[in-house]
Chains A and B, each alone.
Chain A
Amino acid sequence: MAIIHSEPLPSRPAPASNSGLTGWLKGNLFSSPFNTALTLICVYGLWQAMPGLVNWFFLDATWSIFGPEGNANEITKQTVAVCKEAGGACWSLISVKHRFMFFGFYPQDEQWRPLLTCFLLIGMVLISGIRAYWKPWLIVAWLAAIVVCFILMMGGVAGLTYVATSKWGGLPLTLGLAVFSVVFALPLGIALALGRRSQMNLIRTLCVSYIELVRAVPLISILFMASFLLPLFMPEELTINKLLRAQIGIIMFAAAYMAEVIRGGLQAIPKGQYEAADAMGLSYWQATFKVILPQALKVSIPPLVGTIIGTFKDSSLVVIIGLFDVLNTTRVAFSSDPPWSPFYLEAYFVGATVFFIFCFGMSQYSQWLENHLDTGHKN
């Protein structure tokens, strides 16, 4: 006798050992003796480290400020005493010092200006990240943003008090250096990359020499040159602003690296694309801007973002020429005030968080953009 089901039987659930938590554990943590050993070692490590970390970070930490309002010395004295007593992290340091950490020597009454500048810069970067806005007006918007940033930071017009560049510091300085480096270095890098592949001897030689020369020296030496040698060559009453010198140095450096990244992208474009563009009767500029560059830039995105993240982090090297970028203000916040100096871990943690937020954001954006632009040239 045969049992014939009129419908297929519902599929049975996977065995308990392959699904749910057990299945996940088995698949990811205990799939082989080696992985099991690794998992156990990691768990043991966490077991040892976590209680201490949690205690330091949260349970024994001090969050508030003690002492009479307005009396800085008394606040410092009482708060530090409480922190030492508690033994954990002293997050009060951040409450007391955050203005210097984020804005450096910028006058405190005017600190809404650098704050606004930061928002403006971040906003512009976010807008530039949206593909629908990649239109000619974006360039105009950028130029306008640059002017507004300068007016905001520098003042001296429109009722804003003048603030010398030697007082600029903290987050706006880091963001400004990084953003302007990329804004100027990217077009320069594209020009250099195209120049390096040019048929014209003179242009090619110039571009190759520039790229090779700049790439052959470390950024520190460029900053040193800009900071020490340049002023000695100049007449005494003519001094180029220190910040501007550093900015130009970083732009020159970043442009050389970007040129090589973009050249890689250019070389990845099949020869057929060039020939097809020529066969259509497009001029060099038409072919470059409508056919070659869009494809070349697309394949260059991952290394390009790598270079941009590198530029962002390199901007903290300006500490060697006495500029107060956000890492330097973070350090000065505790090191220049002896009672606070034992709490350097807390300050560095905040500095690291700032860098992490920006760098991680950039790398996530690049992944999204890569998927977004993936029009299927991969085989």
Chain B
Amino acid sequence: MKSFKLLTTGFLALSLAAASASAATLDTVKERGKLLCGSNGKTAGFSAPNAKGKMSGFDVDFCRAISAAIFNDPDKVEYIPLTSKQRLTALQSGEIDVLSRTTTWTMSRDSGMGLSFAATTIYDGQGFMVHKDLGVTSALELAGAAVCTRTGTTTELNMADFFNKNKMEYKPVVFEDRSEEKSAFFSGRCDVMTADRIAMAGIRANAPGNPDDYIILPEVISKEPLALAVRSNDSEWFSLVRWVAYALINAEEMGVTSDNLAKMLKSEDPAIQRLLGVNGNLGEKVGLKKDWAANAIGAVGNYSEIFERHVGPNSPLKIERGINALWNQGGILYAAPIR
């Protein structure tokens, strides 16, 4: 009993020491000379090896942007590949500085776990894809269907909720692996496949045969805002991550791209001047130099460039902007102003 007490005291002392020592993530990052970015490494378009075997993707570019804002170099990042079970623990335990790994922002994750979500990078939601020749146009006509999904995911839970709520029978066909699930759906073993709509758009675009033989139904049965997460014990770091992401979205709104950056630095527009640090020094408020946003945009481009490069209509995933368009272009992407 006594040794147990000793042990607990020891752990307490250690964790207290940790809490006081971890106050400034930015200083740690600068001292280390690189950002530790929790990533996935196997999701096409978001973080996956490119032809040169380097980590690349939509999620990866947000880490590159943060690195560029801090170091004026997008490559000072070490990507720590994490599984979906590991990712939150890795952030809590200080193994990574920022989590950029298709993580849904939910209440239970945002509160009471010591984590905070800094900014949504893409809005996703669960949907259904069916074989066109079934003649189905709405998810409410899916009674009795065999539905392919993956085991142990929230996707499986959402699907059960949806069918129960609408009092429809269904036959779940669950798989351990995405590729097995895909081949089962395309070979006709199930009538319907359910997954997040963005991922599913990618699967449809690369269907064996003609993508037009499959349709994604209009119903969206869950909200999946995928967001950047940080530890909640460092509000300055939280702001830094949030505003780097917001700067990229604001840059799209103002028409600043990586190509026209040099021209934009001479712009007369006060909003652009503030964003690029020509006028004022907003970067200082998050512990950075005044050209922080200009460096980030120069390295990875604005939000639209990142989207087009990795997941947009001309990428292998062929995803439309949809609700991820800017708020003034029919979407819901809205970043607070930089001023």
Contact = CB atoms under 8 A, between A and B. Distances in A.
A233 B44 contact: no
Interface stretch (A23-31, A105-113, A291-299, A364-372): A105-113
A195 B81 CA distance: 40
B53 A107 contact: yes
Contact of B49 (A100, A231, A323): A100
B18 A236 contact: yes
A132 B183 CA distance: 53
On chain B, which size bracket covers the interface? 35 or more
A336 B95 contact: no
Interface in B10-48: 11, 14-15, 17-19, 21-22, 28, 41-45, 48
Interface in A50-81: 72, 76
B120 to A, nearest CB: 23
B9 to A, nearest CB: 13
A236 B22 contact: yes
A239 B93 contact: yes
Contact of A237 (B22, B42, B48): B22
Nearest to B25: A236
Given A236-B21, A236-B22, A237-B94, A336 B44 contact: yes
Interface stretch (B82-90, B150-158, B240-248, B269-277): B82-90
A67 to B, nearest CB: 12
B103 to A, nearest CB: 14
Contact of A336 (B17, B49, B206): B49
B3 to A, nearest CB: 16
B246 to A, nearest CB: 27
Interface in B193-215: 202-203, 205-206, 208
Interface in A190-223: none
B51 A231 contact: no
Contacts of A84: 208
B202 A108 contact: no
A107 B51 CA distance: 12
B179 interface: yes
Contacts of B22: 236-237
B87 to A, nearest CB: 9
B48, B202, B205, most chain A CB atoms within 10 A:
B48
Interface in B42-63: 42-45, 48-55
Interface stretch (A9-17, A144-152, A262-270, A337-345): A337-345
B78 interface: yes
Given A231-B89, A338-B206, A322 B81 contact: yes
A342 B45 CA distance: 17
Given A105-B49, A335-B44, A234 B79 contact: no
A235 interface: yes
B179 A334 contact: yes
Given A237-B21, A335-B42, A341-B179, A242 B80 contact: yes
B182 interface: yes
Contacts of A91: none
Contacts of B11: 233
Contacts of A99: 53
Interface string A221-246: 00000011001111111010010000
B206 A237 contact: no
Contacts of B81: 105, 166, 322-324
Contacts of B85: 228, 320
Contact of B53 (A105, A234, A320, A341): A105
A317 interface: no
Given A234-B14, A237-B21, A242-B80, A72 B86 contact: no
Interface in A143-194: 164, 166-167
Contact of A338 (B17, B52, B205): B205
B258 interface: no
A82 to B, nearest CB: 14
Contact of B44 (A76, A227, A235, A337): A337
A342 B206 CA distance: 9
B282 interface: no
Nearest to A229: B89
A339 B92 CA distance: 36
Contacts of A337: 44, 48, 316
A231 B41 contact: no
A227 B17 contact: no
Contacts of A76: 316
B189 interface: no
Contacts of B54: 105, 107
A253 interface: no
Contacts of A106: 53
23 contacts: A72-B50, A103-B53, A105-B54, A107-B54, A166-B78, A228-B86, A231-B94, A232-B92, A234-B14, A235-B17, A235-B21, A236-B19, A237-B21, A321-B83, A322-B41, A322-B82, A323-B81, A324-B81, A336-B43, A338-B202, A338-B203, A338-B317, A341-B206
Interface of B: 11, 14-15, 17-19, 21-22, 28, 41-45, 48-55, 78-83, 85-86, 89-90, 92-95, 178-179, 182-183, 202-203, 205-206, 208, 316-317
Interface of A: 72, 76, 84, 99-100, 103-108, 164, 166-167, 227-228, 231-237, 239, 242, 320-324, 328, 331-339, 341-342, 344
